[in-house]
Structure 1
Amino acid sequence: MKFKTLSFAIFSAFMLSACGGGSSSESNTGTGTGTGTGTGTGNTTTNDSEWSVYSPSYFENSDYLFDKLTFTSKGDTQYVRVDYLSNLKDMETLDINELYIFSDYLTNEGLYELELNKDPELGYKIGSLLKNTPTEKTYIPSSKIGHTGLQLTEQYELVDLSGKPLAEYIDTHLYLVSSEPKLNYYGSFGQLYLSKLKDKKFPNGSKCLRGLNLSSSKDFIMMYQNPYDTSDSFQDIFSEGYNTINLGGYKAFISNAIYPNEYISAIVQFDNKYRMGEYNKSGTYYSLNKEIEIETQVLKELKSDKLTDAEEILEQELYIQSLQKECTIFNSTASKEIDKYRVM
């Protein structure tokens, strides 16, 4: 089963978990806050200054149908705002350090630790923009001590959503699977999602971005905030063993399990604690076309195996369809329409 989640890496920018999170070819590349990817960020067209990303709650008893983050920019500074969370109506009690949303980076320069200073309207500062066009963004993650060598680049496809169904584009995989009587992976929540958004369409001027590629100027580890007190989890995370390296003055443990187009699980030691994360090499480390190619090959292998049941093949076919269609992040016109149906 493939879930979209807000436990993604914000600074890898466009949300590659937007196409359902995970893949059938994953095996065990880590404990999973998404697919080893990030989330859509910010001001990426000439006409819009806010872009929002949505993740379904997957629980019927949630306050809202989605979690929502909004990315904004002011000058060359990139921000992210937590608009609402499906299980937390009272945002005044929000502790951002408990969300697995914000992450730090580690490169050969050292630690890129977020400042997390908050603008009351724009949100939390997360980076400095070097390039900001309708289909490409390059930025430097925020650093308390001024590191500038790590440059992350995202490439997009811009899609006109005017008149198109909300349910098909907010979470295409959820929509396709829940619409298929032979599959019941999302249970009653899937049916609730369909009923809440039935016949609802995007107004004119609605647009979204589909993430195409991620690349980096350096090898890096993106680290989740919450640390472990012990190394007890190593055996589960590194089921195929690991290598130990020194990166930026810190001891890092890198998984031996390497799969094409996916991040590599990593843990970094800070004093006597450990932070889990995602290791990526410099250059292009994620390609949507490559993922579609990989999943198409998985489908061929499933079809050639006489022991594969029909439902598994169907689910894989729907997953590939979702990769080919689903939006990553939405402009303000589309976002305002989605927000009308957030209450459960």
Structure 2
Amino acid sequence: MKLKLLSLSIISACMLTACGGSDSSSSSTTSTNNSNTGNTPIPGTTFQQWAAVDLSTGSDDLDINISQNTIDNGKAYSKQIVGEADNSFIVTPNGVYEDGEEHPQYGTYQGLLTVNGNQWIHSPYSSINSTDLKITTTYKLLDISNKEIFPTILPQEYIDLKYNLNESDLSAIAANYINSIKPIKFPQGSTCLQLQEISNSEEYVDLEIDEPENQSFLAAAWNTLATDPNAIQKVFKNTIAYFSDDENDEGFAKYNEQYYEATYYKKGVEFNLSDIINEWNSFKSSSNPAEVNARIDDQILLAENSCALYNPTAITAIQNTLVNYQ
């Protein structure tokens, strides 16, 4: 039920790309024309809407997921526009947080949200009045008018195609879509929120609600980890979760005698864009082939101009490119 604070495509690009292999077809730097608004405060909590978009190009079809976040008088809502909504809930050491009631216009109630300068402070909804979890997200407001859509919404695919990496992994539909959007730019008035940092007041697990018939499989997976001497155990409210090791945040949990796939989120800083960029910079070396350093520079530039959430003008432009692919 985690509020769609960031685009999954941005996170996947951040986590999966660094210095990679050494294939290359070009060493030119990606051109960008973002107008960086610096510390300009994000609009307040009276009313605003931002959308997250995630496109998956590896399957036979172009998988599209677009969700809209609405903030209205300090209340946060999430509505699925395209694709399937997440069906999960959060458990902390002392609390449980889930989706609230449906708003007829804005979608599912997600709790309270305070905007403090460039930060969103999200207090997720809890039917049992849990209050221990606060998720703080820091953003930078960017003007993306006249910026190319393709590298903004598909940064990993942009790098792959530019440097001839994994091109064969693209489905025919995805390749056609990418070719169709290469010349298209965001219209005037397009803005986005760039994700800078996410931090959590408590560690927690996000538990995915699955079909009842999958309980036997989930129970077997949980028991396998529970009997593994090397597995990591995490205990939360009415919950015991296991993960294969400290580096794996995907595992299985038992909550109130039911079994779930679990994703673990640590207390404190969960994501920091500057740290990732600094790590990429550390991969650059005079001993690398020139094309490898050029690719790292391109990836850093894309990250520095990345978007997590789009305003209505920008998301409408993105949706217009997808009309023939839904």
TM-score by length of 2: 0.76
Compute the displacement of 1:312 (Å): 7.9
Q: 1:104 aligns to what? A: 89
Residues 1:171 and 2:154 are matched in the alignment: yes
- Structure 1 residue 333 and structure 2 residue 318: aligned? no
Equivalent residue number for residue 55 of structure 1? 54
Residue 144 of structure 1 aligns to which amino acid in structure 2?
A: S
Which residue, 241, 262, 284 being the options, matches 1:252?
A: 241
Q: State whether residues 209 and 260 of structure 2, in contact with CA within 8 Å, keep that contact through their aligned partners in structure 1.
A: yes
Residue 287 (str. 1) matches residue 272 (str. 2): yes
CA deviations on 1:47-69 (whole Å, 9 max, x unpaired) are: 9711111112426864x773211
Q: Do the aligned partners of 1:237 and 1:265 also contact (CA within 8 Å) in 2?
A: no
Q: 2:127 aligns with which of 144, 148, 152?
A: 144
| Alignment of 1:113 onto 2:98 | yes
Q: Does residue 233 in structure 1 map to residue 221 in structure 2?
A: yes
Would you say 1:13 and 2:34 are equivalent positions?
Answer: no
**TM-score normalised by structure 1 residue count:** 0.73
1:323 to 287, 303, 316: 303
- Tell me whether 221-230 or 191-200 shows the greater mean CA deviation: 221-230
Mapped to 2, the partners of 1:20 and 1:83 lie a distance apart of 21
Distance 2:63 2:110 in 1: 26
| Aligned pairs (5 A) from 1:1-344 | 10-11=2-3, 13-15=5-7, 17-21=9-13, 22-23=15-16, 45-46=43-44, 49-58=48-57, 62=61, 66-85=64-83, 99=85, 101-115=86-100, 117-129=101-113, 131-133=114-116, 135-181=118-164, 183-184=166-167, 186-187=169-170, 188-226=172-210, 228-229=215-216, 230-233=218-221, 241-258=230-247, 264-298=249-283, 318-342=298-322, 343-344=324-325
Amino acid at match of 2:128: I
Q: 2:163–2:295: 8 Å Cα contact kept in structure 1? A: no
SS in 1 for 2:167: coil
Give yes or no for contact 1:216–1:283 (8 Å, CA) kept in 2.
yes
Separation in structure 2 between the aligned mates of residue 268 and residue 252 of structure 1, nearest angstrom: 4
Q: Which amino acid aligns with 2:138?
A: Q
More displaced 10-residue stretch of structure 1: 333-342 or 229-238: 229-238
Identity, in percent, stands at: 19
Query: Residues 156 and 209 of structure 1 are in contact (CA less than 8 Å); yes or no, is this contact kept in structure 2?
Result: yes
For these two proteins, the number of residue pairs brought into alignment is 294
Higher mean displacement: 15-24 or 217-226: 15-24
Rg larger in 1 or in 2? 2
Contact 1:177 1:318 in 2 (8 A): no
Q: Residue type of the partner of 2:142?
A: V
Q: Distance in 2 between matches of 1:239 and 1:312?
A: 40
* Contact 2:9-2:153 at 8 Å conserved across structures: no
Equivalent position amino acid for 1:128 in 2 = L
Give the whole-Å Cα distance in 2 for the aligned partners of 1:51 and 1:257. Answer: 34
- CA displacement at 1:143 relative to structure 2: 1.0
